[in-house]
Amino acid sequence: MDALLWVLALVGLWYLVSSIWRWLFPSKSSCPEISLLFLVKDNEEIVEGLFRQLALDCHFRNLSLPGRLMVFDLGSHDRTVAILRGLAREYNIYLQEVTLSQLGEVLVDFGGGTLVLDMRTLPVQQALVQARHLLQRMPPAPWPVRQED
């Protein structure tokens, strides 16, 4: 019985020392940089609500994305780009207009750390679920919001 008590005490001491060590010397590569990329085309009815809901989720749940939040417009003919430009000014969203033929070349530049959500075919609720799942796996931090002067 005494031997078991000593073993448990040593294991507890080891966890304590390793926790203090990780606190004093945190690893810089503890979280990979992951980006979230939305592909949109003629989605004026959903883009504003989608990104505002993600911003609210991140604000109230204290979540953030370690990489970038990116939106590629694939040649919209409605107000999608205008809405996204307004959102990009308000939130830290990287917006780029890309043709469908350029998409393959642009996606090659991204590594394996990018979650691509194609809003042309994906329902909004499913996109929110997948984005929230990714955000919940990241360490907490506030959603980056640009401040108006």
| Residue-by-residue pLDDT tens, the chain, 149 positions | 788 888 888 888 888 888 888 778 776 544 456 688 999 999 999 999 999 998 888 777 777 766 778 999 999 999 999 999 999 988 888 899 998 888 888 877 766 678 889 999 999 999 988 888 887 765 444 444 444 44
Q: For the whole prediction, is pTM greater than 0.75? A: no
Query: What is the number of alpha carbons within 13 Å of residue 87 lying toward its C-beta?
Result: 24
The DSSP secondary-structure symbol of 147 reads P
Q: Where are the domains of the chain?
A: 35-136
Task: Answer yes or no: are the C-beta atoms of 140 and 58 closer than 8 Å.
Answer: no
